[in-house]
Structure 1
């Protein structure tokens, strides 16, 4: 009998160790993926901040003897039909692409957060009016709304940032409103009100700080979406008109050379894909870390 109990204990302990080992490997793999994603984001941000330190050539330097050359040791990403080094152009073009992504998220998140906060906390007729206007915007797909705004305003940095930002406002407003309504009905808010705290004090001290986490996660993931939208507008000819093209414009310039110079489209597309994928990985991890239920499961 004792031998049977001892065997069960051994098997139970062995199962616990295997489960712990499996959980550790999963966390280690997730952490390694997170580190890799962070390295990709930091590298591309460094390209945007100090492109001259990374790019081997000037983005406007035309090497007439090396037109449409495939990738090599001299030109990592090959050259285009002007003889420009594509790697250098991709590095320098990251500045405009990242600026569009970050600036549109900042403007759209701030505007959507204010609308959602006012709608959720004030309620009543203000909530009805703001949410019905928000519903109207949500009936239009974001890319179509951005296209309409960019087409009406014309090319330009400010116009494309505004177009992408306005298209993202409805999502931020909805998330913020839902969080405000959920937190406003909790017990500690009622307790604070019963102790004589003013509505504005309750909002700034208790409601808003607890409602920001989902908005921050959404903004992190939204950076990738904004870059995709901005690149799409540039691809369609509604983006920036500059000597140094952004990633979307590079894709548009290379689409006519797919059969003879595949690298002109491939590497700008890979830059967009890698950055968006890395930002989404970071956003997913940030969401998991801010979710108490998932923290308990992982622990």
Structure 2
């Protein structure tokens, strides 16, 4: 008499052969969230790169017979007080919002990494002077520092990028300095110096590549914070002066109609929330992938 437990593990193919049943793989919910986040990010990038392929209407087209219309099959996100399609405004507004988030991370990350690398590798007086400068910047809250810089420079895309980038420099500098100081004291660095490698070659070939992983994770997570900071500056009136507003400006323009036309504020806010959440999910997974200890815990 055959064992029923064994029978349950066997299955018959179309050719009549009996072989073990393929193991059932559980669906990882975390992977589904990361996949969803990747789809959202790709869609937002497509909106920023080719908005004319996605938006059903030009962002400046005013339909006087459709002012303050709620969401419908004709206008998915409704219309604003000028009769403009809100979905089209959100699609076209993604370009400036994503540009602020990405470029501010690039500028702030490069500047902060350079300061942190010099401070950590050279040490001594360089470390003392540079870190005291970073400490001064860290005493000012990031959003307040960005607000002060944006107010001093005036409205403009590059001014917002610079303001948000400067606010993020202390964090990148601190992380990079800690990584450099941790790596430069390891035995293989001492061995490389003992065989005649110059300090520049040691830094370029051994120290710098080993210190980039946490910086990459921090930059990924920083994109969401930069987009929020840029949207906040635009909301306060320090953003771009254009016919096609970014997400923060859309929130500012629609706040006066929140009780009669909730969709003008809601959908730009949802766009910001979805993109920031998606970037944070990707950043968390990247951190787990680059940090085996955290992945196991």
Check if 1:184 corresponds to 2:173. Answer: no
1:285 aligns with 2:254: no
Residue 279 (structure 1) shift: 0.1
1:87-236 aligned at under 5 Å gives the runs 87-236=87-236
Q: TM-score of the superposition, structure 2-length normalised?
A: 0.91
What is the distance in 2 between the residues matched to 1:68 and 1:192?
A: 69
Match of 2:69 in 1: 69
How much has 1:126 moved relative to structure 2?
0.5
Q: Deviations over 1:225-265 (max 9, x none)?
A: 00000000000000000000000000000101110000000
Q: How far apart, in 1, do the equivalents of 2:82 and 2:130 lie? A: 50
* Aligned-partner SS, 1:72: coil
Q: Distance in 2 between matches of 1:48 and 1:261?
A: 26
> 2:41 aligns to what?
41
Partner Cα separation in structure 1 for residue 108 and residue 198 of structure 2: 29
Cα offset for 1:30?
1.3
Alignment correspondent of 2:55: 55
Q: Relative to total residues, which structure has the larger helix share, 1 or 2?
A: 1
Distance across 2 between alignment mates of 1:180 and 1:234? 36
In 2, Cα distance between equivalents of 1:53 and 1:258: 29
Residue of structure 2 in register with 1:294 after alignment: 294
1:194 shift after superposition:
1.5
Distance 2:152 2:224 in 1: 24
Shift of 1:192: 1.1
CA RMSD, aligned part only? 1.3
Cα distance in 1 between the residues matched to 2:137 and 2:258: 37
Which deviations, in whole Å up to 9, do the C-alpha atoms of 1:32-73 show, x marking residues without a partner? 111110000000000000000000000000000000000000
Query: Aligned partners of 1:29, 1:90: CA distance in 2, in Å?
Result: 29
Query: What SS does the corresponding residue of 1:276 show, helix, strand or coil?
Result: helix
Stretches of structure 2 that go unaligned for 5 or more consecutive residues are 1-22
Equivalent residue for 2:272?
Answer: 272
Moved over 6 A (4+): none
Gaps of 5+ in 1: 1-19
TM-score, with length taken from structure 1: 0.90
Q: Distance in 2 between matches of 1:293 and 1:144?
A: 36
